[in-house]
Amino acid sequence: METINKDMELLKTIYDVLDERKAKDIQVIDIRGLSVMTDYFLVASASNINHVYALSEHIEDELRKRGCHYSHLEGYKSGNWILMDYGDFVIHIFDEESRSFYDIERLWRDGKQLDFAS
């Protein structure tokens, strides 16, 4: 139970960082029971590649302050889709064109959408 509460706090923190930094269409998807690779996906769009980089860097800084470090990072060279794997949750930051093309929310549509907007 404590792990779930910590995960929710971290997911809320990430959501807030993305929201404050003008990410678009932020989605938090609970995929527990649907996947063994992670429990949650956080998906957001950025307006351009520089925005993708900035969002990922702000998230990394904020989570580092809380003692969290990603176990895996992908896509930083290209910048159109950065994946940050924190174990219990995976963050996907896309430019708008790549998000539309990959449409990962459709692949995980059986997951439960969580609402962190306030």
Q: For the chain, list the domains and their CATH numbers.
A: 2-114 (3.30.460.10)
Average pLDDT of the chain? 91
Burial 71-82 (b: 16+ CB within 10 A, else e): eeeebeeebbbb
| Exposure of 108 in the CB half-sphere (CA atoms within 13 A) | 24
- pLDDT at site 19: 96
Instruction: Report the share of the chain in percent with pLDDT over 70.
Output: 96
Amino acid at 115: D
Which DSSP symbol is given to 68?
-
Q: What does the pLDDT look like over 37-95, one tens digit per residue?
A: 899 999 999 999 999 999 999 999 999 999 999 999 999 888 899 999 999 999 999 99
Record the pTM: 0.91
Nearest-angstrom CA–CA distance, 56 and 82: 7
